[in-house]
Structure 1
Amino acid sequence: MPELSGRVKTFTDSVIRRMTRINNQQPDSINLSQGFPDFDPPEPILKRLAEVAYEGPHQYSTTWGADNIRQALADKYSPTYGWTIDPDTEICVTCGSTEAMMATVMTVCDPGDKVIVFSPFYENYGADAILSGAEPVFVPLEPPDFGFDPDRLEAAFAQGAKAIIVCNPSNPTGKVFSREELSVIARLATRYDAFVITDEVYEHIIYPPSTHVPMASLPGMSGRTITCNSLSKTYSMTGWRLGFIIGPERIIEAARKVHDFLTVGAAAPLQEAACVGLRLGPDYYQKLQALYTHKRDLFCGGLADLGYTISWPQGTYFVMVDIGDLLSLDRFAGMTDLEFCEWMIREYGVAAVPGSSFFHEPVNRYIRFHFARGDEILTECLKRLAKMAELLPAHAA
């Protein structure tokens, strides 16, 4: 039989989603690996969805998004970005932000082009570059605050990078890039004439005093920034797979062609229902921020009280936990973080993602939890992790 393509040998299946499958095989295990909320979208969206089930639309919408959802997106983001977004030429609705990123990378990169990716990174970015034929150039984010070295970043741009991918707020670290950090990226992208591709799906899950600054809002950046986003996290509808790209007309015109042949279009009835969410007022986003601030304080504070070393997230609903002290114990000698996560599911019934799946570097000391769960579930997880904390060297001493 003929050989399969070489590209499929260069990356694995999603480790995040693999951990969900492993978790589901263990009775009573709690999934804190794959980051989806266990609560429903806002009531106005659900009511509209019920109406749409009988009213329609049920057939194809415009390939790059129905008129009303593109208008709603333009109305929502124009004030944020500081320029008037044209819904007819500067927006493309996609099947989730995963497709938005894939379509964007394929639009701006040819095979052999270099794309800068910060490490640790959301696992799709490496695969996006590989599938488009581009070459990822990794620049490390240094714990515990996951900042970057401007000189190392410039060295990456100097290799002739065509684009840089910036996840802000960042999955998996929970880092929120400051205006000063974004300005460094913007200055280098301009100097080396590169695109900036941003993933801003967690824009409304921010913990004060951090604030979200859209890259496209910085002076001179609207012409070279392609913003990928989705409704998944903001409205607790990860299964709806509604994403979008916002950018300059010439880029969106090309991205629409790629999108058309990747998926044709996002689900028409879901677009119709989601329009209601995009019209929600500021109270909704304030309540969302308060909700996740409470969950962060409950879960991350609980982990810290138990003696775990964590990187406090500035945004998102993820937390990175340093398990280096545990892996240094004789009983875990030679164990990888993936093996540790599998062991933790079996022994304590809590699922996490091994940090090595996010790092280009050979890092084997982090795991990632998500805390978009109900308080009772988070409290139960802390009870289980309290038993594991008894193994920590500090407790043993």
Structure 2
Amino acid sequence: MWPHDTHRPLFDDAQVRPELLRRRSPQRWGAVPPGVIPLTAAEPDFPGPAVVTDAVVSAVADGYFSYAPEDDELRETFSAVAAARYGIADHPDRVVPAPGTAAALWGVVHLLCGKGDECVLLDPVDLLIGQAIDAAGARRVYCPMDKGTGRLDPDRLASLVTPRTALICLCNPHNPLGTVFPEETLRAVAETAVRHRVPILSDEVWSEIVYPPARHLSVASLTAGDGPRVHGDGPRVYTVTGLSKTFALPGLRMGFVLAPGPREAGALRRTFQRLGAAHSLTPFTQAGALAALRHGWPWKDAFLAHLQAMRDHCAERLNAIPGISCARPDGTYVLFPDVSATGLSSRAMGAFLLERARVAVVPGTPEWFGPAAEGHVRVSYATSRAVLDEALRRVADAVGEVLTGGPAALRTTGVRLRPGVSRAATS
């Protein structure tokens, strides 16, 4: 089996190895020059569970790399986990594995939407759902969220549903605001879906990254088993999730869709075939997924405890920087601080921090998170305390230059204040 250092803490500073990560993490460490600290992609800087590594190594040890049909054991295992942890009835014939959560989202959108359709999605929200809607030829209809509180107004969402609406898209827990939607919000959205006969796509890839006392509730559980029900027959819910966030396994490419029923699951499989994504799960992907679902939960619990400590520390440090305001999320491992009081736009702040602080963040621009994201940047804190401390020290020093020097402090970088923002706005 693969050697493991069982004596070293799982999430201490020594586990973050920048030189190795520059080769293995092309969307995070590998995407920035040496010396830059990336707080960008929602990808942990830590190795995943050792049991997964062992399972993958064992699966390839004999040297055979054959085609792999969809594993019934994997579907049954995930279905049992979904029933036990998310309250969604145990029906393996409703489970459709997919080569990653992004592929799962694309499959559902392409199954349900086409040219001329409208899809209601949240604003701001991560780019993947919007990209899938565009690719299907449908039109995005944004439902603004309250960025200060993270709340979603179900009545506002209901007002956006028209005869052209083909899909209501949720992200729960929400990326990038970190909201974990309460039952009353989900129930109201479900009622709207039932009333208008519109299906729901619920992206729940962050469902295990939730900090007490918050509790994640799957909207599909409102209509499943013996759980709480909405009026009528309940909405058709396609729940999308995966292993990337829960177990730090984005490169394993393992996602799942829980379809409303076997018929819908079959239609989704045919859609994956049409998209060229059928039979895409390797034997070692499925072996690793089984190991994670059966034996990875103690690792996940330790990971969550580390993340909660990093969330509190990072939010506190950001709020101590004049011009930055940062809410503390109930879920995910990203923060979405408001930087508008510095006088910089989201894009300008991202460029400024990269050049002056040597810290990379994701700017709150429309292409990343939608129109409502302006004035914010996204920060991933799934790293060690030492990495965060150094990054936050650099950010505080750089932003301090803006606040004390105003536009003059930005001349060497080419970054400009937002039009109409005076020097006083940065004080």
- SS of match in other structure, 1:146: coil
The structural deviation recorded for 1:283 is: 3.7
* 1:341–1:353 contact (8 Å) kept in structure 2: yes
Alignment correspondent of 1:305: 320
Partners of 1:280 and 1:40 in 2: CA distance: 16
Q: Number of residues paired by the alignment?
A: 369
Deviation digits for residues 12-51 of structure 1, max 9, x if unmatched? Answer: xxxxxxx958983433001111111011111111111121
Structure 2 matches for 1:213-362, cutoff 5 A? Answer: 213-218=217-222, 219-220=229-230, 224-247=236-259, 248-261=261-274, 262-264=276-278, 265-280=280-295, 283-307=298-322, 308-327=324-343, 336-357=345-366, 358-361=368-371
Identity %: 26
Amino acid at match of 2:61: Y
- SS of match in other structure, 2:244: coil
- SS of match in other structure, 1:309: coil
Partners of 1:303 and 1:30 in 2: CA distance: 16
- SS of match in other structure, 1:381: helix
**2:395 equivalent to 1:382:** no
Q: Classify 1:37/1:207 alpha carbon distance in 2 versus 1 (closer, same or farther; 3 Å).
A: same
Alignment correspondent of 2:54: 47
Partners of 1:392 and 1:319 in 2: CA distance: 22
Partners of 1:99 and 1:35 in 2: CA distance: 17
The structural deviation recorded for 1:55 is: 4.0
Partners of 2:332 and 2:290 in 1: CA distance: 23
- Equivalent in 176, 181, 186 of residue 177 of structure 1: 181
* 1:23–1:351 contact (8 Å) kept in structure 2: no
Amino acid at match of 1:324: S
The structural deviation recorded for 1:174 is: 0.9
Partners of 1:86 and 1:223 in 2: CA distance: 17
Q: Classify 1:362/1:39 alpha carbon distance in 2 versus 1 (closer, same or farther; 3 Å).
A: closer
**2:71 equivalent to 1:66:** yes
The structural deviation recorded for 1:223 is: 5.6
Q: Where does structure 1 differ by over 6 angstroms across 4 or more consecutive aligned residues?
A: none
Unaligned runs of 5+ in 2: 1-25, 223-228, 406-425
Alignment correspondent of 1:13: none
Alignment correspondent of 1:11: none
Partners of 1:257 and 1:186 in 2: CA distance: 27
Deviation digits for residues 232-253 of structure 1, max 9, x if unmatched? Answer: 1111011111111111212111
Deviation digits for residues 335-376 of structure 1, max 9, x if unmatched? Answer: x42233122111111111111234443653111110011221
The structural deviation recorded for 1:58 is: 2.4
RMSD: 2.3
Partners of 1:386 and 1:246 in 2: CA distance: 44
Alignment correspondent of 2:97: 93
- SS of match in other structure, 2:216: coil
Partners of 2:267 and 2:300 in 1: CA distance: 32
- Equivalent in 361, 364, 381 of residue 374 of structure 2: 364
Q: Name whichever of 283-292 and 222-231 sits farther off.
A: 283-292
Considering Cα pairs closer than 8 Å and 6+ residues apart, tell me whether 1 or 2 has the greater RCO: 1
* 1:160–1:192 contact (8 Å) kept in structure 2: no
- SS of match in other structure, 1:73: helix
| TM-score, reference length from structure 1 | 0.87
Q: Classify 1:68/1:362 alpha carbon distance in 2 versus 1 (closer, same or farther; 3 Å).
A: closer
Amino acid at match of 1:271: Q
| TM-score, reference length from structure 2 | 0.81
* 1:100–1:244 contact (8 Å) kept in structure 2: yes
* 2:200–2:235 contact (8 Å) kept in structure 1: no
* 1:325–1:393 contact (8 Å) kept in structure 2: no
- Equivalent in 115, 124, 129 of residue 128 of structure 2: 124
Deviation digits for residues 377-396 of structure 1, max 9, x if unmatched? Answer: 11111111120242464998
Deviation digits for residues 83-114 of structure 1, max 9, x if unmatched? Answer: 54322x21111111000000001111232111
